[in-house]
Amino acid sequence: MIRMTGAAAEKDFSSRVIEESGQNLLACLQCGKCSGGCPISSEEVGGPRRLIAEILYGSKRQALEDPTWWYCVACGTCMTRCPVEINMYAVATALAEMAEREGIAPSEPDIHLFEELFLKSVERYGRAKELKVGVSFNLRTRQPFKDLAAGMAMMKKGMISPLDFLKGGRSDERVARIFSRAHRKAGEQP
């Protein structure tokens, strides 16, 4: 396939993704083993093979709006099967950071919202309060009764406790400091 033939800005995009992810996408054979094994590849979600093609063609907008890296749960199947050992979740991180810097609206707002709420919880308490995150997500997406029956059943079984939804606990200064320093480093407001 033809690589790195675009305008300077497009070349710049490809090389930045390669540099920031530390993954040599130029070695990609486009064999498709990654997308074949990818749990989130579907008709709607293109999968890693197509995402790499977008990056190598310098299709910046398309790559930064590709739902694949939003859906990616970092299962590692693609890297395990890749003949040139490309780590796609490292590519997902590079694209996520780039999209945020450039203010590109998340193509998968629900996944973005959940991940944002999760990290806010970590930043605030030092440990994730996943049940509280789940409830905030359902409220923010206006589906307050989603998984309510399962939640009630889990409480009845003692798998979770009502306290899990309430308790926040103290904040952890060490973790708050990691977030504020990293934000400052990235040139944003803490």
Which one, of 93, 49, 50, 52, lies nearest residue 70 by Cα?
Answer: 93
**What are the structure tokens assigned to 143, written together?**
């589906």
Residues 138, 129, 122: CA angle, nearest 5 degrees: 105
> 64 to 93, contacts with another protein by CB under 8 A?
69, 71-80, 85, 87, 89, 92-93
Residue 108 DSSP class = S
Rounded to a whole number of angstroms, the minimum distance from the CB of residue 96 to another protein is 5
**Stretch near another protein under the rule CB under 8 A, chosen from 11-19, 23-31, 57-65, 177-185:** 177-185
For residue 47, CA distances in Å to 20, 29, 118 come to 20, 15, 24
Is the Cβ of residue 142 or residue 174 nearer to another protein in the bound state?
Answer: 174
Q: Rule CB under 8 A: which of 102-161 touch another protein?
A: 108, 110-111, 113-116, 118-119, 122, 126-131, 133-134, 137-138, 146-147, 150, 153-154, 157-161
Q: Nearer to another protein by C-beta: 57 or 129?
A: 129
What does the alpha-carbon distance between residue 125 and residue 181 come to, in Å, rounded to a whole number? 17
Query: From the list 39, 83, 144, 162, which residue makes contact with another protein (rule: CB under 8 A)?
Result: 39
Residue ranges in 3-157 assigned as alpha helix (H): 8-21, 33-37, 48-56, 60-64, 67-71, 77-81, 88-101, 109-125, 130-140, 148-156
Q: Which residues bind another protein (CB under 8 A)?
A: 22, 39-40, 69, 71-80, 85, 87, 89, 92-93, 96-97, 100, 108, 110-111, 113-116, 118-119, 122, 126-131, 133-134, 137-138, 146-147, 150, 153-154, 157-161, 164, 172, 174-175, 177-179, 181-182, 185-186
